[in-house]
Structure 1
Amino acid sequence: MSRRCELTGKAVQVGHLVSHSNRKTKRRFLPNLVNVTLQSDALGRRVRLRIAAASLRSVEHRGGLDAFLMKAKADELSTNALTLKRELEKKLAAQ
């Protein structure tokens, strides 16, 4: 399982650990990934996702999982979230 947010695409970044003597060694900046269960109002079910903690705030800011997925770009989403977005689009088109 990759260390990547399923909704925003936030992933591991690489940088330097700089010592007092200004030596630089490689280090990794890991995203704060959490396993969450979000409720989809349109689909009427719960969805388990592995997202960054900052993404959880973005989901709440946009008005829930359904609104976030409708505004999200397809290239940022994981395959799991992309299939969820397609289901959501079909459900909303049927109504």
Structure 2
Amino acid sequence: MSRRCDLTGKGVLSGNLVSHSNRKTKRRFLPNLCNVTLESETLKRSVRLRVSANALKSVDHRGGLDAFLKKARDEELSPVALELKRQIAKAVLKAEAAPAA
């Protein structure tokens, strides 16, 4: 399993660990990933995702998973999140078409 956020696409970065004597050795900066269950109001079900703590704050700030995915660009989403975004868009179109009929 890759160390990449399902929502923001944030992944592992590399850099140098610099000692007091200024020696440099390679190190990895890992994202703060959390396994969370988020509720989708449009789909009326919960979804398990592996997201960074920063993305979790962004989801909360934008008003939930549906609002976050609606505003997010397709390039920065994982295949799982992209499929969720498509399902939500499909459910919204279906809900709008049903009362008109």
TM-score, normalised relative to structure 2: 0.93
Matched, 1:67 2:67: yes
Q: RMSD in angstroms over aligned alpha carbons?
A: 0.5
Residue equivalent to 1:86? 86
1:61-86 per-position Cα deviation (integer Å, ceiling 9, x unaligned):
00000000000011111111100000
Residue equivalent to 2:98? none
SS at match of 1:31: coil
List 4+ stretches of structure 1 deviating above 6 A.
none
Cα deviation for residue 11 of structure 1 reads 0.3
Q: In the comparison of the two structures, how many residue pairs are matched?
A: 95
Where in structure 2 are the equivalents of 1:7-46 lying within 5 Å? Answer: 7-46=7-46
Amino acid at match of 1:9: G
Identity %: 66
Distance 2:8 2:54 in 1: 9
- Structure 2 residue runs without a partner (length 5+): 96-101
- Structure 1 residue runs without a partner (length 5+): none
Distance 1:64 1:46 in 2: 12
Cα deviation for residue 40 of structure 1 reads 0.1
SS at match of 2:17: strand
Cα deviation for residue 22 of structure 1 reads 0.6
Structure having the larger proportion of residues in helix = 2
Greater C-alpha Rg:
2
Cα deviation for residue 44 of structure 1 reads 0.1
SS at match of 1:75: helix
